[in-house]
């Protein structure tokens, strides 16, 4: 392998995941002499750093260089041209959750620019965009990797691809796909002890930083629905959108339209009795309630919502905010292949991005 090989890296987004990724990229670039990893472009939505001769941007200083920069970001078509004009292979790292950037993936991929992203946007929107993205990648040979879009750095997407690509028959996928929902139900309905009131658990989770600023953005189930959409499409189901299957929202109808997350939290105790009854119903069967997503491949049924589980089951025994994903396949028979661990957090999400980048550069 010639040491002259080089890969140009363009990064958009330096939020929580983006910052962790920069740290991992810095280590990686120091450890691996070949191919040479050159940061050639970095931007937020407001600022950017790049140069017409693709001069390497020092990774360790990139955030302060970016803060001091007076360059505006390139438009997406201009970024495609910028990366294509270099003689080196290029990778776009999209650490945003921007729908606009997601829509532009096909234009990068069709020009041979590989993309790595933890975002769900491109893969859980319209089915047409999904098709456009993967047909563009197929045609050009560019890589489109998004391991961290489901279960953060857990090897969920790569494992599912291996099962499908090697010809196994995936029959069912089931799991806890949201760190927030995991944390809430592990506290609200623990396998031993009685747990707290629902509204208190939601409040506590928000204070600990486990929820979105408005907890309704977790409780509506759409984050889980988007992840299920991605997995279902990988096994070959043509899911039109995350709204194309039943998703149980945990937002009481009466609180859907209250103005703020704070008002929502203030009024949530009015509905504790309803959630207590959900918990009690499970307890009467010796079970606990959990918020899960499942895909039944044969019947093409995808659904997201509350289900009861035996206390001794792997799903019930989950700890903290962990995710768990079970793949039932023909080869694996009655006991599924299970992957479990942290499914959110900056470092583990960035880990999936870095692992994907490693795969891209191994082809360089």
Q: Does residue 31 belong to the site contacting a copy of itself (CB under 8 A)?
A: yes
SS3 at position 236: coil
Scanning residues 233 to 262, which ones bind a copy of itself (CB under 8 A)?
none
Separation between Cα atoms, residue 331 and residue 52, nearest integer Å: 52
Q: Does residue 320 belong to the site contacting a copy of itself (CB under 8 A)?
A: yes
Minimum CB distance to a copy of itself smaller for 159 or for 294? 159
Is 13 annotated in some ligand binding site?
yes
Ranges of beta strands (E only) in 196-349 are 287-296, 301-310, 322-329, 337-342
Contact by Cβ (8 Å): 41, 79: yes
Separation between Cα atoms, residue 131 and residue 33, nearest integer Å: 36
Is 16 annotated in some ligand binding site?
yes
Contact by Cβ (8 Å): 292, 186: no
Minimum CB distance to a copy of itself smaller for 302 or for 360? 360
Q: Does residue 342 belong to the site contacting a copy of itself (CB under 8 A)?
A: yes
Residues touching a copy of itself, count (CB under 8 A): 44
- Lay out the site mask for a copy of itself across 184-223 (x = CB under 8 A, - = otherwise): -------x--------------------------------
Among 61, 341, 344, 360, interactor with a copy of itself by CB under 8 A = 341
The secondary structure of 285-316 as a DSSP string is TTEEEEEEEEEETTTTEEEEEEEEEETTSTTT
Which one of 26-34, 55-63, 170-178, 250-258 is the stretch in contact with a copy of itself (CB under 8 A)? 26-34
Q: Which residues, 6+ apart, have CB-to-CB distance to 103 below 8 Å?
A: 122, 129
- Shortest reach from residue 330's CB to a copy of itself, in Å: 8
Which residues are the active-site residues?
Answer: 227
Scanning residues 139 to 178, which ones bind a copy of itself (CB under 8 A)?
141, 153-155, 158-159, 162-163, 165-168
* Dihedral angle over CA of 140, 90, 81, 22, nearest 10: 140
Q: Does residue 317 belong to the site contacting a copy of itself (CB under 8 A)?
A: yes
Is 147 annotated in some ligand binding site?
no
Minimum CB distance to a copy of itself smaller for 79 or for 339? 339
Task: Show the tokens assigned to 90.
Answer: 């290029």
- Shortest reach from residue 166's CB to a copy of itself, in Å: 4
Q: Does residue 48 belong to the site contacting a copy of itself (CB under 8 A)?
A: no
Contact by Cβ (8 Å): 74, 44: no
Among 5, 16, 19, 28, interactor with a copy of itself by CB under 8 A = 28
Is 172 annotated in some ligand binding site?
no
Separation between Cα atoms, residue 95 and residue 120, nearest integer Å: 11
Separation between Cα atoms, residue 258 and residue 81, nearest integer Å: 46
Helix H or strand E encompassing 50: strand 48-50
CA 218 to chain CA centroid, Å, is 14
Separation between Cα atoms, residue 108 and residue 80, nearest integer Å: 6
Angle at 265 between CA 261 and CA 271, to 5 degrees: 130
By the criterion CB under 8 A, which residues form the site for a copy of itself?
Answer: 1, 24, 27-28, 31, 141, 153-155, 158-159, 162-163, 165-168, 191, 312, 314, 317, 319-320, 322, 331-342, 347-348, 351, 354-355, 358, 362-363
Please give the annotated binding residues, written as ranges.
Answer: 13-18, 96, 120, 212
Please give the annotated binding residues for NADP(+), written as ranges.
Answer: 13-18
Please give the annotated binding residues for NADPH, written as ranges.
Answer: 96, 120
């Amino acid at each position: 392998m010639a040491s002259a090989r080089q890969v140009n890296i363009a990064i958009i987004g330096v939020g929580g995941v983006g910052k962790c990724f920069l740290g991992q990229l810095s280590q990686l670039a120091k450890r691996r002499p070949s191919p040479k990893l050159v940061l050639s472009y970095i931007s937020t939505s407001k600022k950017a750093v790049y140069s017409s001769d693709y001069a390497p941007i020092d990774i360790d200083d990139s955030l302060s260089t970016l803060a001091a920069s007076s360059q505006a970001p390139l438009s997406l078509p201009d970024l495609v041209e910028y990366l294509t004009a270099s003689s080196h292979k290029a990778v776009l790292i999209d650490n945003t959750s921007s729908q606009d950037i997601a829509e532009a993936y096909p234009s990068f991929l069709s020009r041979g620019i590989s993309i790595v992203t933890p975002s769900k946007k491109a893969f859980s929107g319209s089915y047409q965009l999904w098709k456009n993205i993967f047909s563009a990648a197929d045609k050009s040979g560019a890589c489109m990797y998004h391991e961290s879009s489901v279960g953060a750095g857990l090897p969920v997407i790569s494992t599912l691809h291996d099962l499908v690509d090697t010809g196994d028959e995936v029959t069912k996928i089931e799991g806890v796909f949201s760190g927030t929902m995991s944390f809430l139900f592990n506290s609200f309905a623990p396998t031993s002890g009685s747990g707290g009131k629902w509204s208190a658990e939601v409040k506590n989770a928000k204070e600990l930083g486990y929820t979105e600023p408005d907890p309704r953005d977790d409780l509506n189930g759409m984050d889980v629905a988007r992840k299920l959409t991605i997995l279902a499409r990988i096994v070959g189901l043509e899911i039109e959108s995350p709204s194309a299957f039943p998703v149980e929202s945990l937002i009481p109808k009466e609180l859907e339209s209250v103005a703020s997350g704070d008002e929502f939290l203030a009024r949530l105790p009015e509905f504790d009795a309803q959630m207590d009854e959900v918990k009690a119903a499970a307890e009467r069967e010796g079970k606990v309630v959990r918020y899960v997503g499942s895909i039944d491949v044969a019947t093409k049924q995808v659904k997201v919502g509350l289900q009861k589980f035996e206390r001794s089951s792997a799903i019930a025994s989950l700890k903290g905010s962990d995710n768990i994903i079970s793949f039932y396949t023909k080869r694996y028979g009655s006991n599924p292949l299970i992957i479990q661990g942290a499914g959110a957090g900056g470092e583990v999400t960035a880990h999936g991005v870095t692992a994907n980048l490693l795969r891209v550069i191994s082809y360089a």
